[in-house]
A = this chain, B = another copy of it.
Amino acid sequence: MKHNIPLEEALELLLEKTISPGESSVPLIHALGRIVSQDIVAQENSPFFDRSPLDGYALLASDTGSATSSQPVRLTVLEEIPAGYVAVSRVTSGTAIKVMTGAPIPQGADVVVKYEEVERKGGIVSIFKPLKSRSNVVYAGEDVKKGEVVAKQGILVTPALIGLLAGLGIASVTVYHRVKVAILSTGDELINIDETLRPGKIYDSNRHTLQARCLELGVEPVMLGNVADRQDQVAERICEGLKQADVVITTGGVSVGDYDVVQDAVEEAGAEIIFWKVDIKPGSPILAAMKEQKLIIGLSGNPVAALITFDLLVIPLLKKMMGRRKYLYSKIQGALLDGFIKSSEQRRFLRARMLVGNEKILVRLTGIQNNSALKSMMECNLFVDVPAGSGPLNPGDVVSAYVIGSIDNVDE
């Protein structure tokens, strides 16, 4: 068992334990938010055929060499092709076919002239300037070529990818199985949110926060409720969790006190401890163990510490388990807008928010940074990484930070 190790070492130890999940084929729309498990290869060109990007006339560019505004070239219109239909005739010298946006380019034609640039009288269309061959033609395969890999194994299925695949006629996608995470809260002090508060007790928030984080991530939470600080009971519930899920996450009971029973419970459950404590603040008390290829992770009972370590260590782990190619956080550099008065003997993570209004990235701390202040997580989309041995931070100091969670609501 390793003790009080750096964050990166802890993450490495967890990541090396992951095994690839199974896969199955699902209908296209059900793949949204899932992870592609096999490279997807286009079986067709996109577009499938050369087509007109506008309403106009398809003809031979070579017919138009002598066209001027006073001496137009006159061509016989053979037919009209709406999108969805194919010309029955072939364009030859002296002829043209009217094509609508999206219609296939008729055989023989090598250019399309815009509707607005010609004059039509009866069955004759007049062209007033020479045209360049291949103008106004969208060629087959211009967006995607047959045989091209359109989605690599390990990428997230987004709406744009769904559109691209639909356009190629791909009606189902092979994706990784959903990862299941069992969530267990430990502590005599915990009561359920629908119970009445009693002296000394607190509502268990951790299970709900972690459940929501799992749902947001596309992981299936298995809710184990809460259990008292009794080694045998905790061990029993961990074993239950291992049966139902791929990973078991507990909160509470991982510190050094007399009632911190999780470490012993994990061993009683037959698991081997991988590490205990990570050298960061908040969130130092964290435990990782393994039993039969399944991980058990014991987080602090403190809501802020639990959520920070879940985000920093468990989310990359789950992303890797889900089969995501990119499972590590992006790191940014930005200038602090606020100061932070405390020195940081230990490596410290501050909750903050990214501001991107001008060319520079700015970092605003999200309120009080106490361990108890779950409120500071509410607007948080950055964890500022303050190295051990840092003094107080001043406005304007450039800091590094991890981009956490979804930030479609960054501020200007």
Contact = CB atoms under 8 A, between A and B. Distances in A.
Oligomer: number of copies: 2
Given A188-B82, A330-B409, A375-B150, A208 B160 contact: no
A212 B82 contact: no
A185 to B, nearest CB: 11
B205 A167 contact: yes
B86 A28 contact: no
Contact of A209 (B82, B166, B326, B375): B166
Contact of A102 (B46, B159, B187, B205): B187
Given A216-B32, A257-B101, A193 B164 contact: no
Nearest to A142: B372
Interface in A181-223: 187-190, 193-194, 197, 199-213, 215-216
Most buried by B among A171, A193, A197, A333: A193
Interface in A141-159: 142-144, 150, 156, 158-159
Contacts of A32: 212, 215-216
B203 A166 contact: yes
A279 interface: no
Contacts of A202: 47-48, 102, 167
Contacts of A162: 208-209, 211-212
A210 B202 CA distance: 44
Interface stretch (A11-19, A289-297, A352-360): A352-360
A330 B142 contact: no
A164 to B, nearest CB: 5
Given A205-B167, A259-B83, A375 B199 contact: no
A92 to B, nearest CB: 20
A405 to B, nearest CB: 6
A138 interface: yes
Interface string A239-267: 00000000000000001111100000000
Interface string A357-381: 1111100000010111111011010
A203 B82 CA distance: 16
A388 interface: no
Size bin of chain A's contact surface: 35 or more
Nearest to A33: B216
A59 B203 CA distance: 27
A399 to B, nearest CB: 10
Contact of A84 (B84, B167, B189): B189
Give the interface centre of A28, A103, A190, A202 by most chain B CB atoms within 10 Å.
A202
Contact of A167 (B46, B55, B187, B374): B374
A198 B72 CA distance: 37
Q: Among the interface residues A29, A307, A357, A375, which one has the most CB atoms of the partner chain B within 10 A?
A: A375
Contacts of A168: 203
Query: Which of A158, A210, A307, A333: most chain B Cβ within 10 A?
Result: A158
A169 B332 CA distance: 36
Given A102-B202, A163-B374, A330-B409, 15 more contacts: A29-B212, A83-B229, A104-B200, A142-B372, A143-B375, A160-B374, A160-B378, A171-B194, A332-B410, A333-B357, A333-B358, A356-B361, A403-B410, A406-B406, A407-B408
7 tightest A-B CB contacts, nearest first:
A163-B209, A84-B189, A84-B188, A159-B212, A167-B205, A160-B377, A166-B205
